[in-house]
Structure 1
Amino acid sequence: MHVDNKMVALAVAVLVTLSSCGVCCPGSSNTTGQNLWAMKDQPMDVQLAAVIKEMESLRCEQTTVQQQHKALNQMHRIKHKEQDQDLVGTHTLTYFTAANVSEDDEDEEDSYLSEEFELSKRRGDPCFHYTVLDQSWRATNTTTKQKMCDRYIKWKGWYRLFYNGKSLQMPERCIPANKCGTHSPLWLAGPHPSRRNGIVTRKVCGSWKKKCCAFRSTPIKVKKCRGNYYVYKFTKPQTCYLAYCADINTLTCGRCRRNQSCVSRDKINWRCKTKRFPSRKVHFFASFPGRLKGKVNQIRYSKVFVNLGRAYDRRTGVFKAPVNGLYQFFFSSQSGYTNVKTDLWLVVNGYWVSQSRTHVSRISSVNTLSYYMTFLRRGSKVYVTHNSGKSWANKVSTTITFGGSLLVQYK
């Protein structure tokens, strides 16, 4: 058997490095390197066998340390699981056990810490800690002989209104007396907040004898939650018979599509309405009151007659599309010189797309008018360039012109 002395020396050096890094069981004597170097005068096969034996021993010790580390992590997770059992909500944590932990899973610790961070944020969020208040008599369309009073209830924490298992919210406008199962229905005297507003305080009014705010109850706190629902921190009314109302009409809002919004004229009757973007009117017409010769990269039509939508800039001669849509443009010129070729180009986003050319072979005056229709995205730039030849106009005539209109607007 041939043994390379360099390979054995390299293996010994590796083992010495590992032993110096502390890869061994607690309490063991860190003498691996010393024992190997002491065998340097032994035959090569004896040294190699000793190296292999030490490597197996170190591998076994490293596995033991890994198992101890995972056991400590498991104890840590079980401790936190017991602390989180009192959390209210539908969010479930997945806790790893010794049976399903993989030795190659390097991201499990980061995943667990991320879940811990999310829980720490939700512990104090009323959107995840509320009491369901599902009492059909609170609906705005109910009248009962037995009048209810919320002064007898021990309000604690936050509440979310339901009607037969469906989420809804308080009304934002006066509710007639003897509705909502009580004499004086309590409604929210102010708009519901947005999620950006966070927790807000709102006044509460109770209607009675044709007075919308005959009773001013103690203010309550309101918060909008992700998922388009609200939670309320109710307080005891000052007297009886007053009770908080649940607007039955707001049930419609929970069924609106993505392209719809929940709207109301009287803040009582709600309905889903398709969102429509406002229609833009864009028209412009301008002229150049002078003469053009040779190459003019960007004609500045300074005399503006129409600029509805303010999309044309007279200082630069550039039209900038304000919305996505189908546009139509036109441009004209007047040429009156013998044997001169006059070229104008319509330029869209740097591309020459439409040409207007005249070639006068005798003494005469020729006028050209060109049209171009295209779809443009918002921010597209359009202008006219005078590439060659001669064009003429004056302050009175409108022979060198540029104009356009938005025909159809798109989202």
Structure 2
Amino acid sequence: MMLVVYLSVLLMPSAIVGTESGRGPFKTDVWNKEDQPLWEQLSTLQKEMNSLSREQVILKQKQKAIDRMLIIDENVTSLTESGRHQLLSPPHLWLNGKDKDDEGHDLPKYDPCYHSTPLDQAWRTTNYTTKDVKCDRQVEWQGWYRLYYRGKSIQMPERCIRKKHCGTHAPLWLTKPHPNISEGIVTRNVCGNWRKNCCYFKSTPIQVKACPGNYYVYKLVKPTKCHLAYCADVNTLVCGGCDRQQNCMSRDRVNYSCAPKKRKIIEQVIHFFASHPGNLTGKVAQIKFSRVLVNEGAGFNDQTGVFHPPVSGIYQFYFSSQYRGGDSNVTNLELVINGTTVAVSRSDVKTPASIGALSTFMTTLCKNSNVSVTQVTGQSWANSVSNTITFGGSLLMQYNEKEVKLLGCLT
């Protein structure tokens, strides 16, 4: 009687269980065998218990996989503005570099972009000098590292660094540029500057990988000698803040800052040079310089002697003449822009001799302005080959749209 009661207690909790496929509960076969001998019921019960045991193993494996996905290593996170961590990598990359899990199953290979050790040491920066020199040969390097400076991502220099910087005697730098993401993991040679030789120390090559998010990771190794140390180029941090209108500049190649981009002197080529092939007497309202030798940009009109700037910008003009002297023979030439005299060339020679003169003028002009030369009074001498009565000019700097508006030009 007691055995029957014991079996009833034993069997009742097993009345409803989950299927191995997870499709829902079902009733055990024990309930369908109540009219069978006890030993057959015990055999059926043993089979059911074995099935449940296998189910528990599977559930345990799934739970461990979920637990791994929920582990957040501080090495694969970055701080947001609110100070809370934000995930940077998919779960299958958080497996700490193991080849197999606790059950012996193969794990996917990890990406060093999401499994690196932060290296935030201010003394490594290119603008840091100290008498307390460091030596990276004394460091037990393990795996991949990401360089930081005060919590901000930074990278190794791609240029020769002055000796006794980066907190060491011979700073280590990369001899070739960093890779792009599509190149994957690459090997780069490392050099240390010493005795006026940027590559006096040829250290052991390292591996480098470009990562999403505009940063790099490095598989650092022990340098060949002391005192050598890996550099962190502080200019990459500064230059990352420069906008499109700025360049990252440095006078000493150690301390960098953002500076406005230098303008090109000439963006569009505009030059002209023309001469008048004969004498001029008295007032000539607009000299027609019909002999055109240069007209780059097609701004000069040889029919009218007028120059029309093809673009807005800064121009320089010059005009010349060979003046004939006399008792009352004062000769004046004027440069006229948009109807206003802006420059004058005057000759007052009392003797019958002649004298040559050249005048220049620089100004800002809007597109399609009118520029010409006039003789107010006097006499100017020239012939078909002399080129003594001349007019010319050049564009020095073209204005952009913003500068054109500030100048008040009509586009």
Q: What TM-score do you get using the length of structure 1 for normalisation?
A: 0.40
* Larger Cα-atom Rg: 2
Q: Structure 2 length normalisation: TM-score?
A: 0.40
